Amino acid sequence: MSRVLIVANDVVAIRMAGPGIRCFELGRGLAADGHQVTLVGMGSTDLASPGFTVSPELGLAALERLARSHDLVMVEGTALLRYPVLREVESPLVMDLYDPFPIALLGQEEHLGMADRERQDLEVRAAVSEMLALGDYFICASETQRDLWLGSLLAAGRLNPRNWSRDPTFRQLIDVVPFGLPEVPPPVRERGSRLPLPGVEQEDLVLLWGGGIYNWFDPLTLIQAVARVDDLSPPVKLVFMSTSHPNSGRTHDGDEVDLIIERDDGAVVAFEVKASARVPGQGMRSLAKLRDAVGPAFIAGVALYLGSRSYTFAERLLVLPVDRIWTPVD
């Protein structure tokens, strides 16, 4: 069997987002088929798998040595920018295009100034062009995605007579590998049983948001919609499976802030979301560190929680009930 190196473009840990989940499940599937798999993520990792190796982020030299010892290297997203040494390895490169990040970034970076957005757009387009030029094989997550990337490969000159002669469907160039979830469904609990969640009663109607509070998912529209039906019976409760992105606002020592908004003039407002009815002092540590690091440009840090009292925790640090998002202040 083959030795396969997977280079993820995100955190691979117990708490991870879509890119990390996909790489982990691909690694587990390949290992189950008998391949020797090594998965390298971003930052540190607290995740282990009995079937393959999960590694924290590596330096360039260590990653190059690892790549040269494997038969195949799968690169996700813009990981090629972090590890330019992969351009030189002789092992075949499989480019995972499951995340159409050039389109995703249009919404994700909408809060930035136009100059910054256009600069990032050029950088991302250059990264995509390089991936399409260097890849020996490509995978994506759906037929619709494949249609998108076929157009990109056409523009990149990869839908050419040589590849047509080899396979006129171009499946030998790009094919679909579904997103990646465990093959075994999660166990079904006894009907009516639920995990304990603050503020959620057994008879409540629960709307489960299968992801985090990311600006490009537009969670505010859903929050505002739920606020308009708060008089229904049984009550409607909105539950987010996560808050911040695992790879956003994180420092090297593990501190993170859920949402950071920066205006064109450099002013910063930051938010933390707490799934509890009280905010202990240590729960404000990340906001306080960010305030001290940013300095005068830091306008305010706000912790949203499930309690009912609004108060000032410290200089430019506030604690507010989460319902202040949709409830008018008299």
Average pLDDT of the chain, as a whole number: 85
DSSP string, 165-226: HH-TT-TTTEEE------SSPPPPPPTT-----TT--TTSEEEEE-S---GGG-HHHHHHHH
pLDDT, tens digit, for every residue of 8-19? 988 898 888 888
pLDDT of residue 252: 38
pLDDT band, very low/low/confident/very high, at 173 (cuts 50, 70, 90)? very high
More confident residue, 323 or 64: 64
pLDDT of residue 291: 87
pLDDT of residue 241: 78
Range of weakest confidence among 85-94, 99-108, 173-182: 99-108
Range of weakest confidence among 123-137, 278-292, 296-310: 278-292
Helix-, strand-, coil-residue percentages of the chain, each rounded to 5: 35, 25, 40
pLDDT, tens digit, for every residue of 93-119? 999 999 888 888 887 777 677 888 898
Whether the link from the prior residue into 234 is cis, omega within 30° of 0, is: yes
Set out the domains of the chain in order of their start, with CATH numbers: 3-176 (3.40.50.2000), 205-325 (no CATH)
CB 20 within 8 A of CB 45: no
For range 36-57, the mean pLDDT: 90
pLDDT of residue 43: 82
CB 279 within 8 A of CB 295: no
For range 74-91, the mean pLDDT: 88
Report the percent of the chain where pLDDT is more than 70: 91
pLDDT of residue 253: 42
Distance CA 21, CA 239 (A): 21
pLDDT band, very low/low/confident/very high, at 329 (cuts 50, 70, 90)? low
Query: Residue 7 pLDDT more than 70?
Result: yes
pLDDT of residue 103: 87
**Among 118, 98, 96, 95, residue whose Cα is nearest residue 106:** 118
pLDDT band, very low/low/confident/very high, at 294 (cuts 50, 70, 90)? confident
pLDDT of residue 98: 92
pTM (2 d.p.): 0.71
pLDDT of residue 323: 77
Range of weakest confidence among 52-56, 93-97, 293-297, 312-316: 293-297
